[in-house]
């Protein structure tokens, strides 16, 4: 299956790169400059930065599928602890930061479930789970700082230097 897929990708690449005509001597210079600006696969796979407004609109589109009422808000977490020389998520800016959250109020007395996405994701990844979970929990889903609809401060390397040696880290990853 993989071999068949890779051979079809190779054939598509050959088709894309195949000249559509035989160039004449006068058209050679034009063809060489056109080939430099021609679309190719790596440009398709390149990361394209998007605005927070586009991300919020995309998340609202995903959340339009959800039937359970929810509240989406940006929670102001400030710029860091006042007077602290070591700040968690230190930035060169003192601008306040915001965490994008979606909250589903469950039934009275139901426990709270906080959902945090993984690397390079957003709380929108959970949209198919919200209805089922909101029946049993008060659900709070958030976008981590720097991802999804949350603020994107300009992190510096110094942000972790102060606490890098002051903790133990335990991680677990289950592969099925």
User: pLDDT (tens digit, 9 = 90+) per residue, 54-98?
Assistant: 777 888 888 888 999 999 888 887 766 555 555 554 556 667 788
Task: Pick from 5-14, 15-24, 112-121 the range whose average pLDDT is largest.
Answer: 112-121
Q: Which residue has the higher pLDDT, 17 or 77?
A: 77
Which residue would you say has higher pLDDT here, 111 or 50?
A: 111
Predicted confidence at residue 152, as pLDDT, reads 74
- Whole-angstrom distance, CA of residue 46 vs CA of residue 41: 9
The secondary element (H helix, E strand) that includes residue 71 is strand 71-78
pLDDT > 90: what percent of the chain?
A: 3
Please report, to the nearest 10 degrees, the dihedral formed by the alpha carbons of residues 5, 8, 14, 18 taken in order.
-150
Task: Give the burial string for 123-133 (b: 16+ CB within 10 Å, else e).
Answer: bbebbeebeeb
Q: What pLDDT score does 125 carry?
A: 82
Place of tokens 């051979």: 7
Give the model's confidence band at 149: pLDDT under 50 very low, under 70 low, under 90 confident, else very high. Answer: confident
Under a CB-based contact definition with an 8 Å cutoff, are residues 84 and 78 in contact? no
pLDDT at 67: 92
Mean pLDDT of the chain: 70
Ranked by mean pLDDT, the top range of 44-58, 112-126, 144-158 is 112-126
- Give the pTM: 0.56
Residues 62, 129 contacting (CB under 8 angstroms): no
Q: Kindly give the pairing relationship between strand 112-116 and strand 138-142.
A: parallel
51/56 Cα distance (integer angstroms): 9
């Amino acid at each position: 299956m993989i071999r068949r897929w890779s051979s079809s990708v190779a054939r598509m690449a050959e088709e894309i790169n195949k000249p559509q005509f035989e160039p004449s001597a006068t058209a050679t210079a034009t063809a060489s400059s056109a080939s430099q600006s021609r679309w190719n696969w790596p440009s398709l796979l390149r990361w394209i930065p998007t605005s927070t407004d586009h991300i919020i609109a995309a998340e609202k589109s995903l959340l339009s599928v959800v039937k359970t009422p929810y509240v989406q808000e940006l929670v102001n977490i400030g710029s860091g602890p006042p007077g602290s020389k070591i700040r968690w998520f230190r930035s060169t800016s003192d601008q306040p930061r915001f965490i994008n959250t979606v909250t589903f109020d469950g039934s009275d007395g139901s426990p709270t479930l906080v959902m945090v996405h993984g690397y390079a994701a957003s709380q929108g990844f959970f949209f198919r789970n919200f209805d089922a979970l909101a029946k049993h929990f008060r659900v709070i889903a958030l976008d981590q700082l720097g991802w999804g609809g949350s603020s994107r401060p300009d992190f510096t390397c110094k942000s972790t230097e102060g606490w890098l040696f002051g903790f133990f880290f335990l991680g677990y990853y289950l592969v099925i």
